[in-house]
Structure 1
Amino acid sequence: MSSRRIRLSIAYCFTLLSAIIPADILSAADTESIKVEVKENVAVPMRDGVILRANVFRPDRGGPYPVLVMRTPYGKSSRMDRYVKAGYIVVSQDARGRYASDGKWESFVRFNTHDAEDGYDTVEWAAKLEGSNGKVGTFGGSYNAFLQWRLAPLRPPSLVAMCAYSIPARYTDLEGPGTIRPGRRLHWWSVSMSPDMRRRAEREGTHARAAAQKEWTSGKSEHWLNFLPYLDLPQEVFEDEIKPVRDWLKNPHTDPWKLHKAVDQITVPNLNIIGWWDHCNGDLMLDRAIRSEGGSQVARKGSRTIVGPWSHAGLGRRRYGNIDFGPQAVFDMTDYQIRWFDYWLKGKQNGIDKTASYRIFVMGDNKWRDEPDWPLERAQDKVLYPGSDDGANTPAGDGKLAVDLPSQQGTDNYRYDPDNPVPSLHGERLFQIPTDQRPLAKRQDILVYQTEPLAERIEVTGNPTVELYAASSAPDTDFIVRLIDVHPDGLARDVSLGVVRARYRQGLDQPSLIQPESVVKYTIRMNPTSNAFLPGHRIRLDITSSDFPNYDRNHNTAANQNADAELKIADQTIYFGSKYPTRIVLPWIKSE
């Protein structure tokens, strides 16, 4: 054979190999040198004839590749280079009625939408893309995760795995127990959702998120957050979705989601990455549901959950203001998602199947720990009782938290004025974040109970519960409890929060007003957490009646406050002692 023919044969072989060798067995150098090819606004037909549009990102060589699909209402502008260089085709699609996609957007306050069918059709379309190996994974957080939980019960044949993170099972978990979160929700509508609806309808006003955010920070936030009643909020806030939003505001205890009710139809595993301060962690209900009721053993045994010391908008961070959880808190979400999909879509034996069902960050220790279940079976109840002699108002009071029930029956009192609520110590875009509570130290409407400095480490992992005996001068009111880790230097970092609206104390399906001045027992389940209270620290329990605008203000009236603007002051009395044993029950993990 001539040297020329040998060179041609070798060149042909390399060309053939580059076309058929999957990216997961290319060398690191080859993977890094991959260039990203992008096709924008590719038409994706739905079963009802509506055209959705997607950007398709792909490697410039090699294949076939698995496909990752992200469907979003926020605009498909993100780059996907890291996923592509790791050997994936990526489809980033505008949801129905958003940005470049046709049709009418149907928000998640509606009970019936096209989200499930659109997701199914998109997954199957993606599986047939040129260069696809037919295996599809879906990914994305928050609303993008909601869209995945909608489509997965339809079981598209090409769907192999999900990474749907940071979304609760129920809409009522997103907002609160019979409450709403005006801070997040009004910002979300005003800045993230309404500008594009306004643009599509060619109405006056801001048409872009950046401009809307500037308006919000320039004064609109104060206007809308203090607007009452919410049912009278104008179309400017909700645009085309004003009717379904108002329908929900008339019945805020109803749930249009119920994602956990469909997990028995889901046959693929899910990776959830979430934070202890994420208002969307939803008590980890979806995580627990898919492990116990998932529609296949793969879904039940293969799903994984990672919980860090993070907020909804800060997954993977270590610092929030003056609070630092250390270098161990830093988490590369993209890298882990690639590892997840490498295992499920490429068959890489990278150890994902050997990881723990739950991986949690224990604050205080600031270390990760693997757990086989949630809640932890080995957790034991540790009970602490609040009490005071002269009054627990503010940290300067004499409120105590102790293992012994107060020997004398007693009360503490405060006045809750919804026109002067306890302000939320929130982060950017009004997200709930870990915060130092010292800026609230002079509030007379916060009762503070704390232990003596601890002699030994006490770990609390799970859902603390407060059994509260209280009376109010109002027929309806709120009680808010907060667990706090007080450091020797005075830092008072919140650990967990719980809220009860009096009329929903027996459940959202059993609304019942209270008799003013009567003592009522409330059982308040607090948010999940994992925190080690270290020697020298104090365990603190705060009790108050507002956290605005993280939660809406209770008006202290019998009316549907979403439809009524009247605000009344409530005088609150907290009881403690043998007759009315108010207490906090901590899920205690014995130190090994």
Structure 2
Amino acid sequence: MKALLRSGIAALAAGVLATSAAGGEHTYKELPSEIPAHFAPTNPGFDFERRTVDIPMRDGVKLHTVILVPKGAKHAGMLLTRTPYGADGMGHRGDSPHLGPTLRGYDNPADVIVQDGYIRVIQDIRGKNGSEGDFVMNRPPIGHGNPTAVDESSDIYDTIDWLVKHVPESNGKVGIIGISYDGFEAMIATIRPHPALKVAVPINPMIDGWMGDDWFHRGAFRQQMIPYIYGMVNSRRSDIGWTSGFRDDYDLYLHIGSAGDIGRAYGMEALGFWQKILAHPAYDGFWSEQALDKIAAKEPMTVPTMLVHSLWDQEDNYGDMAVYRALAPRDPDHRKLWLVIGPWRHAKTWEKADHIGAIDLGSDTGTMFRQRILRPFLAQYLKDDAPKADIAPVNAFVTGENVWRKLDRWPSSCRSDCPPTMHRWYVEADGGLGEAVPAAGADEYVSDPAKPVPYRLRPIQPWSHGVPDQVDSWPEWLVDDQRQFATRTDVLTYVSPVLEQPMGVAGEPLVHLLASTSGTDSDWVVKLIDVYPDEVEEKPSVGGYQLPVAMEIFRGRYREGYDKPKALTPGKPLEYRFPLPTVNHVFQPGHRVMVQIQSSWFPLYDRNPQTFVPNIFNAKPGDYRKATQRIVRDGENGTYVELPVTQ
């Protein structure tokens, strides 16, 4: 009986399982996907065609490339930009079928591209976003710093070679343009270039990361670039964001400690480029051998190149002028090299640019540059039927006067050869500044690393994110009113009498400090400032404004050589000589000339502990000590700023 019962139960269970399986197959089967395996948009009403292709390089690595071809294009020039910031994003906006709005944004001269019918090409550089391969920050040219068979120049060569063979709508002529990192790509394209590369426009390019572009300035580390390094190197698509938990970067960086401590707190030991930064705090061969101005100076000049410099560039205000100084003597007939100097911050060239911060520039300088300078320059080399462009070798905007000048060379104050003359402006007792040789004396202040001088009004937001008002204004901090710092006890301020005549300056002001410190290391920050009259009738809001014309920092340990850090002798007056960034400015009658001197500029630059340590990235809390700083007046040998005064 039990056996029969067990047999019946087993049969019933088997039937239930079979029914469940059959029912389950019917009940739980997935519905068909409503997304097709491949979808090709019809793009109704579009005035361009968007193509994406992975272009093979000589080593087999494929680079993701976006090609935007105007509808009906024939025999069109191609304008290339190579970027680590995402070619898909730079070459795509889904809310417009028109090429102009699609391109509007970072690193796209949309108006020029549309007006002259260029084929726009945007490419992810090796190792970033959609491109294969390994990413190396500012990958050096093949040679001592790069023993491989490929570099950015070879990738550009191979890309251009593919483009001229596979884009039938083109005329076989290629230009390259870019800002910042993309400007670095535009400059390095001129090294061993493809024959089809007809023109290059590096705008605010990264040229020498130690001397005065993104990573250091005269030895002082640009600490607020840490989040940029973090984001660029932590992943192929830069999709791991920086977080801080502080509203004020001043508090964040002061709380953690040295720049090295910040990197360790964020796990940056795993990031290859960060390890290079830590290992090379001085200007050794690692930096000097990859500086593009030095490399370009040794190469043939075959590609017509227009360097574009911004007078208030908060990121890269060194490199383009260094390239110009290196190459201009080799081009006396003005056939390969042009220079534009504009009243802009970094990457302002694609915008209207009639103001910078609180300063009215008097005209739409951005549109003027694009339409009257850039457009005919590109057309001459990229369009089959374009006339020779009538563009001066140097086009320089004069701030303070708000006019463009056409010059044969830089620096110059007139169309022919009128070089500026250097005039010394000495610091004087009681905060004066003048051209007369002063009596001997000194002024002093106490520099406290626990209370460093901020570089702008607090709270200081990260340049990459934060509250909108600070993020929107950060790119123009170099024109911030300096009154907020003039009354600090750790900032010395020297100001001239009211000017009775206009005074133009063009070129690099030179700083000559005679200074001592009670410590064994020190930073020196020098600011050249245009002080507005107390009342400005046409614009009352700038009454008394202290407009920075040029500002720079110098790390004292490099006084005897940028590759030779050396402790300072406490209490001994020592000479420090260094240039300020390029200026092209007129101090108007009724204005005054001001110089400010301080020993920290935080948190943009890391704090000097004021105690000599082999590597400041590894400074310990006990190394950070107060120091008494003395600025010495000693007749003609004392402290002064040499200004390149125009006629």
When the two structures are superposed, what TM-score results if normalisation uses the length of structure 1? 0.83
How far residue 341 of structure 1 moved from its aligned partner, in angstroms, is 1.5
Separation in structure 2 between the aligned mates of residue 368 and residue 334 of structure 1, nearest angstrom: 14
Give the equivalent residue in structure 2 for 1:385: 426
1:227-266 paired onto structure 2 within 5 Å: 227-234=256-263, 242-252=271-281, 253-254=283-284, 255=287, 257-263=290-296, 264-266=299-301
Q: Which amino acid aligns with 2:67?
A: V
Separation in structure 1 between the aligned mates of residue 360 and residue 244 of structure 2, nearest angstrom: 29
> 1:469–1:223: structure 2 CA closer, same or farther, 3 Å change rule?
closer
C-alpha contact 1:34 1:85 (8 A) present in aligned 2: no
Separation in structure 2 between the aligned mates of residue 327 and residue 319 of structure 1, nearest angstrom: 8
C-alpha contact 2:302 2:336 (8 A) present in aligned 1: no
> 1:198–1:448: structure 2 CA closer, same or farther, 3 Å change rule?
closer
Q: Per-residue displacement from partner, 1:201-230 (whole Å, max 9, x unpaired)?
A: xxxx54xxxxx5xx4696495576444333
Separation in structure 2 between the aligned mates of residue 121 and residue 188 of structure 1, nearest angstrom: 29
SS of corresponding position for 1:551:
coil
How far residue 92 of structure 1 moved from its aligned partner, in angstroms, is 0.5
How far residue 308 of structure 1 moved from its aligned partner, in angstroms, is 1.3
Answering whether residue 116 of structure 2 is matched by residue 104 of structure 1, we say no
How far residue 581 of structure 1 moved from its aligned partner, in angstroms, is 2.1
C-alpha contact 1:70 1:92 (8 A) present in aligned 2: yes
Match of 1:306 among 326, 332, 340: 340
Give the equivalent residue in structure 2 for 1:562: 617
Q: Which amino acid aligns with 1:275?
A: S
Match of 1:75 among 83, 86, 105: 86
SS of corresponding position for 1:342:
helix
1:54-133 paired onto structure 2 within 5 Å: 54-76=65-87, 77-78=89-90, 79-80=102-103, 82=111, 83-108=113-138, 111-112=145-146, 114-128=151-165, 129-133=167-171
Q: Which amino acid aligns with 1:447?
A: L
Q: Which amino acid aligns with 2:51?
A: K
Answering whether residue 222 of structure 2 is matched by residue 181 of structure 1, we say yes
Answering whether residue 195 of structure 2 is matched by residue 157 of structure 1, we say yes
Q: Which amino acid aligns with 1:271?
A: M
Answering whether residue 594 of structure 2 is matched by residue 540 of structure 1, we say yes
Q: Which amino acid aligns with 1:411?
A: A
Answering whether residue 430 of structure 2 is matched by residue 401 of structure 1, we say no
C-alpha contact 2:428 2:633 (8 A) present in aligned 1: yes
Gaps of 5+ in 2: 1-44, 91-101, 104-109, 413-417, 458-469, 535-543
The percent identity for this pair of structures is: 29
Q: Per-residue displacement from partner, 1:297-316 (whole Å, max 9, x unpaired)?
A: 89x52322111121114345
How far residue 549 of structure 1 moved from its aligned partner, in angstroms, is 2.6
Q: Per-residue displacement from partner, 1:246-281 (whole Å, max 9, x unpaired)?
A: 223222223152212332234101112221111413
Match of 1:148 among 186, 190, 204: 186
Q: Which amino acid aligns with 2:124?
A: D
How far residue 442 of structure 1 moved from its aligned partner, in angstroms, is 2.7
Separation in structure 1 between the aligned mates of residue 533 and residue 248 of structure 2, nearest angstrom: 40
How far residue 491 of structure 1 moved from its aligned partner, in angstroms, is 0.8
Give the equivalent residue in structure 2 for 1:38: 50
How far residue 528 of structure 1 moved from its aligned partner, in angstroms, is 0.8
> 1:350–1:193: structure 2 CA closer, same or farther, 3 Å change rule?
farther
> 1:373–1:550: structure 2 CA closer, same or farther, 3 Å change rule?
farther
> 1:85–1:372: structure 2 CA closer, same or farther, 3 Å change rule?
closer
Give the equivalent residue in structure 1 for 2:22: none
1:478-517 paired onto structure 2 within 5 Å: 478-489=523-534, 490-517=544-571
C-alpha contact 1:454 1:536 (8 A) present in aligned 2: yes
* Deviates most, 271-280 or 225-234: 225-234
C-alpha contact 1:458 1:589 (8 A) present in aligned 2: yes
Separation in structure 1 between the aligned mates of residue 601 and residue 374 of structure 2, nearest angstrom: 35
How far residue 154 of structure 1 moved from its aligned partner, in angstroms, is 1.6
> 1:56–1:158: structure 2 CA closer, same or farther, 3 Å change rule?
same
> 1:374–1:136: structure 2 CA closer, same or farther, 3 Å change rule?
same
Give the equivalent residue in structure 2 for 1:357: 393
C-alpha contact 2:229 2:274 (8 A) present in aligned 1: no
SS of corresponding position for 2:644:
strand
Q: Per-residue displacement from partner, 1:28-62 (whole Å, max 9, x unpaired)?
A: xxxxx99111113x111111111111111001113
When the two structures are superposed, what TM-score results if normalisation uses the length of structure 2? 0.76
Separation in structure 1 between the aligned mates of residue 76 and residue 396 of structure 2, nearest angstrom: 32
Separation in structure 2 between the aligned mates of residue 57 and residue 198 of structure 1, nearest angstrom: 24
SS of corresponding position for 1:289:
helix
Q: Which amino acid aligns with 2:121?
A: V
Answering whether residue 282 of structure 2 is matched by residue 282 of structure 1, we say no
> 1:520–1:234: structure 2 CA closer, same or farther, 3 Å change rule?
closer
How far residue 411 of structure 1 moved from its aligned partner, in angstroms, is 0.8
Separation in structure 1 between the aligned mates of residue 195 and residue 380 of structure 2, nearest angstrom: 18
Separation in structure 2 between the aligned mates of residue 458 and residue 446 of structure 1, nearest angstrom: 26
> 1:481–1:109: structure 2 CA closer, same or farther, 3 Å change rule?
farther
SS of corresponding position for 1:343:
helix
Q: Which amino acid aligns with 1:187?
A: P
C-alpha contact 1:155 1:265 (8 A) present in aligned 2: no
Gaps of 5+ in 1: 1-32, 200-204, 207-211, 389-397
Match of 2:607 among 553, 557, 565: 553
SS of corresponding position for 2:189:
helix
> 1:220–1:541: structure 2 CA closer, same or farther, 3 Å change rule?
closer
1:431-510 paired onto structure 2 within 5 Å: 431=475, 432-489=477-534, 490-510=544-564
C-alpha contact 2:551 2:580 (8 A) present in aligned 1: yes
Separation in structure 1 between the aligned mates of residue 252 and residue 183 of structure 2, nearest angstrom: 28
Separation in structure 1 between the aligned mates of residue 437 and residue 154 of structure 2, nearest angstrom: 56
C-alpha contact 1:323 1:436 (8 A) present in aligned 2: no
Separation in structure 2 between the aligned mates of residue 216 and residue 231 of structure 1, nearest angstrom: 16
C-alpha contact 1:235 1:242 (8 A) present in aligned 2: no
Give the equivalent residue in structure 2 for 1:267: 302
Match of 1:575 among 608, 629, 632: 632
Separation in structure 2 between the aligned mates of residue 421 and residue 218 of structure 1, nearest angstrom: 18
How far residue 106 of structure 1 moved from its aligned partner, in angstroms, is 1.1
Separation in structure 2 between the aligned mates of residue 453 and residue 47 of structure 1, nearest angstrom: 64
SS of corresponding position for 1:575:
strand
Q: Which amino acid aligns with 1:228?
A: G
Separation in structure 2 between the aligned mates of residue 103 and residue 511 of structure 1, nearest angstrom: 37
C-alpha contact 1:319 1:325 (8 A) present in aligned 2: yes
C-alpha contact 1:505 1:522 (8 A) present in aligned 2: yes
Separation in structure 2 between the aligned mates of residue 223 and residue 535 of structure 1, nearest angstrom: 41
How far residue 177 of structure 1 moved from its aligned partner, in angstroms, is 0.9
Q: Which amino acid aligns with 2:294?
A: K
C-alpha contact 1:463 1:586 (8 A) present in aligned 2: yes
SS of corresponding position for 1:373:
coil
Separation in structure 2 between the aligned mates of residue 330 and residue 155 of structure 1, nearest angstrom: 29
Separation in structure 1 between the aligned mates of residue 168 and residue 435 of structure 2, nearest angstrom: 66
> 1:189–1:400: structure 2 CA closer, same or farther, 3 Å change rule?
same
Separation in structure 1 between the aligned mates of residue 575 and residue 567 of structure 2, nearest angstrom: 13
How far residue 350 of structure 1 moved from its aligned partner, in angstroms, is 4.8
How far residue 508 of structure 1 moved from its aligned partner, in angstroms, is 0.8
Separation in structure 1 between the aligned mates of residue 378 and residue 246 of structure 2, nearest angstrom: 42
Separation in structure 2 between the aligned mates of residue 197 and residue 36 of structure 1, nearest angstrom: 27
Separation in structure 2 between the aligned mates of residue 224 and residue 340 of structure 1, nearest angstrom: 46
Give the equivalent residue in structure 1 for 2:12: none
